[in-house]
Chains A and B, each alone.
Chain A
Amino acid sequence: MNSASPVGLERIVPLNRYRYLLNKVGWSVFTILFVLVLNFFLFRVLPGDPARALTKDPRMKEAAREALRVRFGLDKPVINCFDSLTPIKLGDCGVNPLETQFFIYIKNLLQGELGISYKTNRAVSEILVERLWNTILLIGAGQILSIFVGIALGVLAAWKARTAIDYGALFTGLVAWSLPTFWLGIIILFWGSSHGFPIGGKATPGIGAYPFLQQAGDIARHMFLPTLAYTIVFMGEYLLVMRSSLLDVLAEDYILTAKAKGLSAFQILKDHALKNAMLPIVTIIAINLGFTVAGAIQIEAVFSWPGLGGAIFEAVESRDYPVLQGAFLLIAVSVILANLIADLTYTYLDPRVQSE
């Protein structure tokens, strides 16, 4: 038998705002922990780790294999009770938990160590930090542009509902939404390469010797095509969501009230409709962060942009597991944090959240 209170009664019991915020923060912390655990076990459960394969290579001498096992930390049990997970090999449950692979992984993480790249022999954390900034630069520029353009077109479409402008914007949005990111990247690259744009990378080699302005100009020229592709793909969804959200808001009773108050159409749009219609967009941006990363992987692969997505692409090709593991962790944590920020922004924007 359901025991929820009858409709209406729950509204008189306001939920504490701080409790709500604490809930959100606590949940994000939990999610990060989950990702840490997932990231560790995923790579130990799934087959195909070349390090593990190497340590089992019968052509090598026992001593060499043992040395490799020590080097990759595979000599220790995965976690209490399990010496190995593929194949499952039970072990001693009484070992010192700090001496297991799992806790060494956690300990290293806390010290900012993500292992050594198989391919380049550099510290993974070092590679990733450098690449993280490149990705943020690309995603940041692309997201800001796509949000701006998408919302502007969406507002225009909703305002001019059921006119040619509206139908044009709607069709543009649907097509943009349907474009595969990497393909659009290829087409734009194809076009750009014949119009004098650099076809890949972040900067012309050797540009570091030139003055700052020239460097910035060079990076901007390299960024133009990937950002364009990125903007077009993401603009579509923002356009569609903004249009539909604003259409809903503009049909609300309080818009009629505002009109009855004698406000002009522009005033109503500015003071009564936009903020309300933006609320769903904030949620969409939060939910979209995962797709944002997917977009970055594709764009970076096409334009050889040295970002995190590119790192994943290269690590997959060369089966460079520590980099793959580190990149996934970094991406997941960034998305979770960005999600939290979006959630908190929403709480701040919508007064109703505080008491629901």
Chain B
Amino acid sequence: MAVQELELKPAVPASPLTGFWKMFRENRMAVAGLVMLLVIVFAAVFADVIAPYNPRSYEGIQSGDIYNPPSATHWFGTDDAGKDVFSSFIFGARNSLIVGFFAAFISIFIGGTFGVLAGFYGGRIENFLMRFTDLMLVIPDLPLIVIFVALTKPSLWNIILVIGLLGWTTTARIVRSQTLAVKSRKFVLRARAIGAGNGHIILHHILPLVMPILVVNAILVISLAILSESTLAFLGLSDPLAISWGQMLNFAFGRGAMSVGAWWALVAPGFGIVWVVLALTLLGNGLEQVLNPRLEAHHLMPGRLPVWGGEAESYPATAVRKSRRRKDAAMVLDVRNVSVAYVNGNSQVKAVQNVSFQLYEGELIGLVGESGCGKTTLMLALLRLLPAAGQIVNGQILFDGRDLTSLSEAEISDIRWKDISIVFQGAMNALNPVRTVGDQIKEAIVKHNPAFPQKRLETRVIELLGLVGIPAAYKDHFPHQYSGGMRQRAMIAMALSCNPKILIADEPTTALDVMIQAQILDLLDELRAQLGLAIIFVTHDLGVVAEMCDSVLVMYGGVTAEYADVDTIYNSPRHPYTQELLKAFPDLSRPERKLAFIPGHPPKLDALPPGCRFAPRCSQAFERCVSEMPRLYELKAGHVASCHLAEGKSR
């Protein structure tokens, strides 16, 4: 959902690399992992200098030196042969890292090549490579490694080779799926259209985007290789001449450290393994967060309670609008000066500022605006469904004599769906993929009417689906068995399941074909006539609004640009944005008219211009527009516009 993206997106960096370093530095996990890793790499490289004793030499060792506890001369005590544990520990780091890095290199090379080739070429190549990978994946690694090493000479390089040759399967799978994902992106198709060959595409378009995942995976593979090596050594299968942590444990465990209580001989080498593996794990997880930032925020996190700050500005008097169907309709929703902000630490981004509108029974209001104008945020705010960082910072939402901003979570839960329901943009993911559509409709009914007779449920679901033109047999189908248009209609059926008074339709037809769009618009129009439903229709398409709405609220950059009945908006718009937006629509009845557009692009909510939000793109802007934000001027009863040009004409 658009709102999710808006929230907490890191500032756009100048180039991918500088951006990477900036985010890397800010990621505590990644930095901690890197520092831990560097410490151990340093120790391994300079082992000869750091280690106080030579672990291979028995010089100067006496019989009384066996299993001595830690002391000033032997920091980590001594082992079963009387040698300094600390020195062995430092030298052990060297072998662990050598095995880890080289084995991982082999694995990554094989897995990376297989993955890219399989993902990119597909067909027989993919089939063969991935079947082979699956085969290797199910055969348990360690027993096979143990057998290999036991049957061959357990030298360091044999161990590296065996671990490397058996450890590539997950890499191949991950790289393949990433390659597939990259390959299906349009820029690869574009490169083909340019005439680029496979080699060029792999090198310039696939690899740069697979590389980040490969690096994260490589770090994981290194840690797994280090664990494998230490396990082998512990099982007594290491190169007898190469000191390693696993081997130290093997000696200590097998030669009575436990019975004499020499914990230091057991703890030190294990600590080394945990240190390295944890370092790599932290680095890997941190890097993943940096390369593929997730918000780690979700819909169940407790939201911020609304701040009721009173009415900052006087809101326009109740509009006298011509509801086309009912002259005596009662007001069902009164939104007064609502402002919404996204809060991130100390910074606040105002997504919606002082928006007011009223909704009458059976009225269809169009909420029009381009991407990022705050329209979806406003709709989520009405039902208090804002993401965790979003907060209503001002205003009142009056429904049925109650202010929705002051209700508790439990109270608002009762109003949701029963009184006000919402259909989201793109029903692709708005339905739970593992539950049948009928089941999800029933759930809503039972939630708000626990006494609903079990027997009637089934018929009610069929009735609702019938209302939106879906055959009864489809109630037991899963969402993926529906087409896009059907899913959207099923969402509408579900939204109607509790007979709400207000239906919010948030771009319900975006991404659907024109004919499906017409079907859904027709359906909504019929429903409001039949059921007296009040509908808030959110859209970027002024044409759709003209077709069916009673009143229109045009939003720009989080504020109301213009608000009036539909006839006024189309025939005597006052805000330059409305005027120019209307001109941008091709009018098929007037072939001679040239298509117009508004230069520039809509403002980003975190970088709003100081004055009028539209001033940078406005052809009629003057000095005052740049410095001062216009307030809403009332031009006539029920017609307001936030433009300095409207000041003189206002009442």
Whether A associates with B in a native complex is: yes
Could you tell me if A272 and B432 are in contact, using CB atoms closer than 8 angstroms?
yes
Could you tell me if A319 and B266 are in contact, using CB atoms closer than 8 angstroms?
no
Could you tell me if A312 and B234 are in contact, using CB atoms closer than 8 angstroms?
no
Query: How far is A11 from B64 in the complex, measured between Cα atoms in Å?
Result: 76
Could you tell me if B300 and A265 are in contact, using CB atoms closer than 8 angstroms?
yes
8 closest pairs, A vs B, by CB? A250-B298, A294-B142, A183-B270, A46-B151, A253-B429, A262-B416, A178-B277, A178-B278
Query: How far is A16 from B140 in the complex, measured between Cα atoms in Å?
Result: 31
- Which residues of the partner chain B approach A38 to less than 8 Å between Cβ atoms? 139
Query: How far is A248 from B298 in the complex, measured between Cα atoms in Å?
Result: 8
| Chain B, Cβ-Cβ closest to A11 | B480
- Which residues of the partner chain A approach B269 to less than 8 Å between Cβ atoms? 183
Tell yes or no: B433 within 8 A of A by CB.
yes
Query: How far is A161 from B387 in the complex, measured between Cα atoms in Å?
Result: 13
- Which residues of the partner chain B approach A268 to less than 8 Å between Cβ atoms? 299-300
| Chain B, Cβ-Cβ closest to A258 | B432
Could you tell me if B134 and A27 are in contact, using CB atoms closer than 8 angstroms?
yes
Contact with B along A182-200 (1 / 0, CB 8 A): 1100110110010000000
Could you tell me if A186 and B249 are in contact, using CB atoms closer than 8 angstroms?
yes
Could you tell me if A351 and B480 are in contact, using CB atoms closer than 8 angstroms?
yes
Tell yes or no: A263 within 8 A of B by CB.
yes
Query: How far is A272 from B223 in the complex, measured between Cα atoms in Å?
Result: 35
Could you tell me if B138 and A31 are in contact, using CB atoms closer than 8 angstroms?
yes
Query: How far is A244 from B139 in the complex, measured between Cα atoms in Å?
Result: 27
CB distance from B57 to the nearest CB of A (A): 27
Query: How far is A262 from B270 in the complex, measured between Cα atoms in Å?
Result: 51
Tell yes or no: B291 within 8 A of A by CB.
no
Assess A178 versus B274: contact at CB under 8 Å? Given A186-B249, A250-B298, A312-B143.
yes
Could you tell me if A294 and B141 are in contact, using CB atoms closer than 8 angstroms?
yes
Could you tell me if B263 and A254 are in contact, using CB atoms closer than 8 angstroms?
no
| Chain B, Cβ-Cβ closest to A14 | B481
Could you tell me if B152 and A47 are in contact, using CB atoms closer than 8 angstroms?
yes
Other-chain contact of B299, A42, A251, A332 (Cβ < 8 Å): A251
- Which residues of the partner chain A approach B249 to less than 8 Å between Cβ atoms? 182-183, 186
Tell yes or no: A217 within 8 A of B by CB.
no
| Chain B, Cβ-Cβ closest to A32 | B138
Tell yes or no: A255 within 8 A of B by CB.
yes
Tell yes or no: B237 within 8 A of A by CB.
yes
Could you tell me if A161 and B301 are in contact, using CB atoms closer than 8 angstroms?
yes
Tell yes or no: B434 within 8 A of A by CB.
yes
Tell yes or no: B147 within 8 A of A by CB.
yes
The segment out of B11-19, B99-107, B364-372, B440-448 that lies at the interface is B440-448
Could you tell me if A190 and B258 are in contact, using CB atoms closer than 8 angstroms?
yes
| Chain B, Cβ-Cβ closest to A328 | B143
Could you tell me if A290 and B151 are in contact, using CB atoms closer than 8 angstroms?
no
Tell yes or no: A203 within 8 A of B by CB.
no
Interface size on A, residues (CB 8 A): 88
Could you tell me if A247 and B296 are in contact, using CB atoms closer than 8 angstroms?
yes
Other-chain contact of B1, A177, A256, A276, A339 (Cβ < 8 Å): A256
> Which of A47, A276, A351 has most B Cβ within 10 Å?
A351
Contact with A along B472-485 (1 / 0, CB 8 A): 00000010110000
Could you tell me if B151 and A48 are in contact, using CB atoms closer than 8 angstroms?
yes
Tell yes or no: B118 within 8 A of A by CB.
no
Tell yes or no: A275 within 8 A of B by CB.
yes
Residues of chain A in range 325-356 having any CB-CB distance to chain B below 8 Å: 327-328, 331-332, 335-336, 339, 349-352, 355
Residues of chain A in range 272-305 having any CB-CB distance to chain B below 8 Å: 272-273, 275-276, 279, 287, 289-291, 293-294, 297-298, 301-302
Query: How far is A332 from B416 in the complex, measured between Cα atoms in Å?
Result: 54
Assess A7 versus B481: contact at CB under 8 Å? Given A162-B297, A186-B253, A327-B143.
no
- Which residues of the partner chain A approach B227 to less than 8 Å between Cβ atoms? 180
Interface size on B, residues (CB 8 A): 83
Query: How far is A158 from B300 in the complex, measured between Cα atoms in Å?
Result: 10
Tell yes or no: B222 within 8 A of A by CB.
no
> Which of B246, B269, B426, B481 has most A Cβ within 10 Å?
B481
Q: Which residues of B contact A (CB under 8 A)?
A: 1, 4, 122, 134-135, 137-144, 146-148, 150-152, 170, 184, 223, 227, 230-231, 234-237, 246, 249, 253, 258, 263, 266-267, 269-270, 273-274, 277-278, 281-282, 285, 294-301, 383, 385, 410, 413-418, 421-422, 424, 426, 428-435, 443-444, 447-448, 478, 480-481, 491, 494
Could you tell me if A182 and B234 are in contact, using CB atoms closer than 8 angstroms?
yes
Could you tell me if A180 and B282 are in contact, using CB atoms closer than 8 angstroms?
no
Other-chain contact of B140, A161, A175, A251, A293 (Cβ < 8 Å): A293
Tell yes or no: A264 within 8 A of B by CB.
yes
Tell yes or no: A159 within 8 A of B by CB.
yes
Could you tell me if B231 and A289 are in contact, using CB atoms closer than 8 angstroms?
no
Query: How far is A350 from B434 in the complex, measured between Cα atoms in Å?
Result: 6
Residues of chain A in range 155-186 having any CB-CB distance to chain B below 8 Å: 158-159, 161-162, 174-175, 177-183, 186
Could you tell me if B137 and A162 are in contact, using CB atoms closer than 8 angstroms?
no
Could you tell me if A332 and B140 are in contact, using CB atoms closer than 8 angstroms?
yes
Tell yes or no: A10 within 8 A of B by CB.
no
A and B contact pairs by CB, cutoff 8 A, 23 listed:
A43-B147, A161-B297, A162-B301, A180-B231, A181-B231, A250-B299, A251-B297, A254-B432, A257-B424, A260-B416, A262-B416, A263-B447, A271-B443, A272-B432, A276-B433, A289-B138, A293-B143, A302-B253, A319-B150, A324-B150, A331-B140, A332-B143, A335-B140
Could you tell me if B298 and A247 are in contact, using CB atoms closer than 8 angstroms?
yes
Q: Which residues of A contact B (CB under 8 A)?
A: 2, 4, 7, 11, 27, 31, 34-35, 38, 42-43, 46-49, 158-159, 161-162, 174-175, 177-183, 186-187, 189-190, 193, 247-248, 250-265, 267-269, 271-273, 275-276, 279, 287, 289-291, 293-294, 297-298, 301-302, 312-313, 316-317, 319, 324, 327-328, 331-332, 335-336, 339, 349-352, 355
Q: How many A-B residue pairs have CB under 8 A?
A: 236
Query: How far is A251 from B135 in the complex, measured between Cα atoms in Å?
Result: 35
| Chain B, Cβ-Cβ closest to A276 | B434
Could you tell me if B414 and A352 are in contact, using CB atoms closer than 8 angstroms?
no
CB distance from A22 to the nearest CB of B (A): 16
CB distance from A174 to the nearest CB of B (A): 5
Query: How far is A122 from B411 in the complex, measured between Cα atoms in Å?
Result: 73
Query: How far is A312 from B140 in the complex, measured between Cα atoms in Å?
Result: 13
Could you tell me if B266 and A187 are in contact, using CB atoms closer than 8 angstroms?
yes
Assess A352 versus B138: contact at CB under 8 Å? Given A161-B297, A250-B300.
no
CB distance from B401 to the nearest CB of A (A): 19
Could you tell me if B147 and A328 are in contact, using CB atoms closer than 8 angstroms?
yes
Could you tell me if B140 and A290 are in contact, using CB atoms closer than 8 angstroms?
yes
Query: How far is A256 from B4 in the complex, measured between Cα atoms in Å?
Result: 11
Assess A262 versus B417: contact at CB under 8 Å? Given A255-B299, A257-B430, A269-B300.
yes
Query: How far is A291 from B148 in the complex, measured between Cα atoms in Å?
Result: 17
- Which residues of the partner chain A approach B480 to less than 8 Å between Cβ atoms? 11, 351-352, 355
Query: How far is A162 from B299 in the complex, measured between Cα atoms in Å?
Result: 13
Could you tell me if A253 and B424 are in contact, using CB atoms closer than 8 angstroms?
yes
Could you tell me if B274 and A180 are in contact, using CB atoms closer than 8 angstroms?
yes
| Chain A, Cβ-Cβ closest to B279 | A178
| Chain B, Cβ-Cβ closest to A194 | B261
Other-chain contact of A351, B138, B184, B234, B434 (Cβ < 8 Å): B434
> Which of A187, A189, A279, A294 has most B Cβ within 10 Å?
A294
Query: How far is A303 from B228 in the complex, measured between Cα atoms in Å?
Result: 19
- Which residues of the partner chain A approach B494 to less than 8 Å between Cβ atoms? 261
- Which residues of the partner chain A approach B267 to less than 8 Å between Cβ atoms? 187
- Which residues of the partner chain B approach A248 to less than 8 Å between Cβ atoms? 294
Assess A7 versus B184: contact at CB under 8 Å? Given A351-B478, A352-B480.
yes
Query: How far is A234 from B494 in the complex, measured between Cα atoms in Å?
Result: 42
Could you tell me if B424 and A298 are in contact, using CB atoms closer than 8 angstroms?
no
| Chain B, Cβ-Cβ closest to A293 | B140
Could you tell me if A190 and B443 are in contact, using CB atoms closer than 8 angstroms?
no
Could you tell me if A293 and B142 are in contact, using CB atoms closer than 8 angstroms?
yes
Could you tell me if A294 and B301 are in contact, using CB atoms closer than 8 angstroms?
no
- Which residues of the partner chain B approach A180 to less than 8 Å between Cβ atoms? 227, 230-231, 234, 246, 270, 273-274, 277
Could you tell me if B150 and A352 are in contact, using CB atoms closer than 8 angstroms?
no
Could you tell me if A290 and B235 are in contact, using CB atoms closer than 8 angstroms?
no
Query: How far is A186 from B138 in the complex, measured between Cα atoms in Å?
Result: 28
Could you tell me if B237 and A316 are in contact, using CB atoms closer than 8 angstroms?
yes
CB distance from A264 to the nearest CB of B (A): 6
